[in-house]
């Protein structure tokens, strides 16, 4: 059954009648990133107004693959993470084929002991629906549907948006404006900011079909399959018996012609054989990798697609945007509360432009492998595919998408190289079971000092979580060491770690964290 789009209620904005008092935070765009941002700020006690130019969740087929880290972020936002996992198709295995032979397979989460799976596949409209449900429950959030930003001004201490509604226009002032208005970001346009990067000269058909079939919950990718000669293809299973099929078409194809169902249906029939299906959604896409030079512009902050875009192969768009939410929420909340200087937001810019570059690099490499330029690039690609069936080293060079994982920030917080590399400063704190509960459930609102296999030093001012040196906690946090102290940021990132430290050293690290100097 096709998704049932229900419009959310439009209400007349108070600013249409009389000027509103200045708001703390205005979020432009109620896509996944704007909504998650509002809930994360509410978690930290900060109020926001969210405006969106329409009144329904994302139309058509966009993001489907949500990564472990994205699910961990969503898990802090009320019941959104739990609903996404319950509804979504959980998967972790990907298979890449050349013609019909498997040349490469990967398992994204071979280890147990994590609350969240490697990936779930779930249509973007469900994720947005769950986020709206949660946002509507929060007293700190006001969502205004059918409110479109059409103008913007800013001074040193606030931004002013001009907003159009079905009942006329009004102005709204906010100390901070977060632009989550998507890849074509009108806010970015209004500010005249360059969005540098590349457009890949390739077209893909994206089709969602409803079909009863017994395909396993895996990602299947083909180079040059017999059903679609000379091109590539991708198949993903989603809930509600919906399958996503991506077919590479080539740059020379005419998108107007390819859009027609009489062209699409025979192509899909070649993929699924004689199974019956219903075409739920289709579109023709070209892909770009671009980002803003900086995500911070005075009182205007960019997050999600307005700040950076990538090709979908690797699922790094929405997942990368949720990591922006992760890195910005606690910092902006501290600035709004007066607990941190405005300059600390530079750390958000530093970390997330770094994350965007990593995503763009991975996404560009994949796109180039899938659509090599004539000459040496094509020769290399074809030889890798030919050899991959025979020689193990060539398999690692096959690139049908390096799937979204969080980057490790280059933090300067104290480190002890005797402790495990995967938990070094800048990494997401690895999850671990704590009896029936999970370690990440105990982190994510305020800084926490993990005291593992030892007591915390006297006089520590941050909350302490003492953990026994056993099981997954030992394996992931201690390695061969007997005990350790880990300072974890409110976004569950490791800020610093020691085998031993006094309270003054830890207090310095906490200060550096709030000031964005770590």
Ligand X SMILES: Cc1cc2nc3c(=O)[nH]c(=O)nc-3n(C[C@H](O)[C@H](O)[C@H](O)COP(=O)(O)OP(=O)(O)OC[C@H]3O[C@@H](n4cnc5c(N)ncnc54)[C@H](O)[C@@H]3O)c2cc1C
**Using CB under 6 A as the criterion, which residues of the chain lie in contact with ligand X when the complex forms?**
28-34, 51-54, 58, 62-65, 124, 148-149, 180-183, 186, 206, 285, 304-305, 312, 315, 317-319, 321
The number of beta carbons lying within 10 Å of the beta carbon of residue 68 is 23
CB of 197 to ligand X, least distance (A): 14
CB of 127 to ligand X, least distance (A): 9
CB-nearer residue toward ligand X: 148 or 381: 148
Whether the CB-CB separation of 388 and 395 falls below 8 Å is answered with yes
CB of 205 to ligand X, least distance (A): 11
Whether the CB-CB separation of 185 and 28 falls below 8 Å is answered with no
* Cα 359 from Cα 63, distance rounded (Å): 15
CB-nearer residue toward ligand X: 35 or 467: 35
CB-nearer residue toward ligand X: 285 or 354: 285
Dihedral pair phi/psi, residue 3, rounded to 5°: -65, 140
Whether the CB-CB separation of 37 and 178 falls below 8 Å is answered with yes
Alpha helices in 276-405 (DSSP H): 317-337, 346-370, 376-388, 392-395
CB-nearer residue toward ligand X: 154 or 344: 154
Q: Cα angle vertex 513, ends 507, 514, to 5°?
A: 95
CB-nearer residue toward ligand X: 121 or 344: 121
CB of 306 to ligand X, least distance (A): 6
Residue 89: closest CA among 70, 55, 117: 117
CB-nearer residue toward ligand X: 180 or 340: 180
* Cα 275 from Cα 243, distance rounded (Å): 12
Cβ-proximal residues to 137 (8 Å cutoff; 6+ apart), any chain: 78
Measured in whole angstroms, the distance separating CA 396 from the mean position of its chain's CA atoms is 25
E strand or H helix at 247: strand 242-248
CB of 164 to ligand X, least distance (A): 9
State both tokens at 59. Answer: 């139309």
CB of 30 to ligand X, least distance (A): 5
CB of 121 to ligand X, least distance (A): 8
Of all residues in the shown chain, the one whose CB is closest to ligand X is 31
Cβ-proximal residues to 224 (8 Å cutoff; 6+ apart), any chain: 98, 99, 230, 231, 232, 385
Measured in whole angstroms, the distance separating CA 330 from the mean position of its chain's CA atoms is 17
* Cα 193 from Cα 191, distance rounded (Å): 6
Residue 31: closest CA among 76, 63, 73: 63
CB-nearer residue toward ligand X: 121 or 427: 121
Half-sphere exposure of residue 499: CA atoms within 13 angstroms, side-chain side:
11
CB-nearer residue toward ligand X: 20 or 382: 20
CB of 403 to ligand X, least distance (A): 9
Using DSSP, state whether 486 is helix, strand or coil. strand
CB-nearer residue toward ligand X: 35 or 450: 35
CB of 448 to ligand X, least distance (A): 28
CB-nearer residue toward ligand X: 40 or 181: 181
State both tokens at 240. Answer: 């509600």
CB of 301 to ligand X, least distance (A): 13
* Cα 438 from Cα 113, distance rounded (Å): 9
CB of 487 to ligand X, least distance (A): 29
CB-nearer residue toward ligand X: 149 or 264: 149
User: Quick one: how many helices (H) and strands (E) in the chain?
Assistant: 13, 25
- Sheet of 119-121: strand order equals 65-67, 119-121, 89-91
């Amino acid at each position: 059954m096709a998704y049932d789009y229900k419009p959310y209620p439009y209400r007349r904005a108070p600013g249409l009648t009389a000027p509103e008092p200045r708001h703390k935070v205005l979020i432009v765009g109620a896509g996944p990133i704007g909504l998650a941002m509002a809930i994360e700020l509410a978690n930290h006690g900060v109020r926001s107004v969210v405006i969106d130019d329409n009144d329904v969740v994302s139309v058509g087929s966009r993001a489907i693959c949500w990564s472990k880290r994205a699910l961990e972020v969503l898990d802090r936002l009320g019941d959104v993470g739990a609903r996404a996992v319950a509804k979504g198709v959980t998967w972790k295995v990907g298979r890449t084929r050349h013609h019909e032979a498997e040349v490469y397979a990967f398992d994204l989460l071979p280890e147990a002991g994590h609350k969240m799976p490697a990936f779930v596949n779930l249509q973007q409209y469900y994720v947005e629906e769950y986020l709206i449900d949660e946002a509507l429950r929060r007293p700190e959030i006001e969502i205004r549907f059918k409110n479109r930003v059409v103008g913007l001004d800013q001074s040193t201490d606030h931004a002013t948006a001009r907003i159009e509604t079905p009942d006329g226009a009004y102005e709204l002032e906010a100390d901070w404006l977060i632009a989550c208005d998507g890849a074509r970001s009108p806010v970015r346009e209004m500010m005249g900011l360059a969005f540098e990067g590349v457009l890949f000269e390739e077209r893909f058909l994206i089709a969602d079909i409803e079909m009863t079939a017994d395909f396993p919950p895996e990602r299947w990718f083909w180079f040059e399959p017999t059903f679609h000669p000379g091109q590539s293809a991708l198949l993903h299973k989603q809930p509600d018996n919906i399958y996503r099929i991506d077919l590479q078409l080539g740059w020379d194809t005419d998108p107007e012609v390819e859009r027609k169902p009489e062209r699409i249906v025979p192509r899909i029939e070649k993929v699924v054989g004689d199974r019956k299906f219903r075409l739920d959604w289709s579109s023709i896409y070209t892909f770009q990798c671009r980002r803003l030079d900086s995500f911070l512009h005075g009182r205007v902050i960019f997050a999600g697609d307005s700040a950076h875009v990538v090709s979908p192969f690797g699922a790094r768009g929405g997942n990368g945007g949720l990591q922006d939410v992760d890195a910005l929420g606690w910092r902006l909340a501290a600035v709004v509360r007066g607990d941190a200087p405005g300059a600390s937001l530079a750390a958000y810019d530093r970390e997330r432009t770094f994350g965007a570059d990593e995503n763009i690099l991975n996404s560009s490499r994949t796109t180039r492998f899938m659509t090599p330029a004539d000459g040496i690039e094509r020769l290399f690609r074809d030889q890798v595919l030919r050899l991959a069936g025979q020689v193990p080293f060539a398999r690692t060079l096959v690139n049908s998408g390096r799937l979204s994982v969080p980057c490790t920030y280059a933090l300067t917080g104290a480190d002890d190289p005797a402790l495990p590399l995967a938990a070094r400063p800048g990494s997401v704190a690895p999850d671990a079971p704590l009896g029936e509960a999970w370690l990440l459930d105990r982190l994510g609102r305020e800084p926490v000092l993990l005291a593992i296999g030892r007591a915390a030093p006297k006089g520590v001012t941050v909350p302490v979580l003492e953990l026994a040196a056993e099981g997954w906690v030992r394996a992931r946090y201690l390695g061969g060491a007997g005990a350790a102290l880990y300072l974890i940021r409110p976004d569950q990132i490791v800020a610093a770690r020691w085998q031993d430290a006094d309270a003054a050293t830890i207090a310095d690290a906490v200060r550096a964290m709030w000031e964005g100097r770590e």
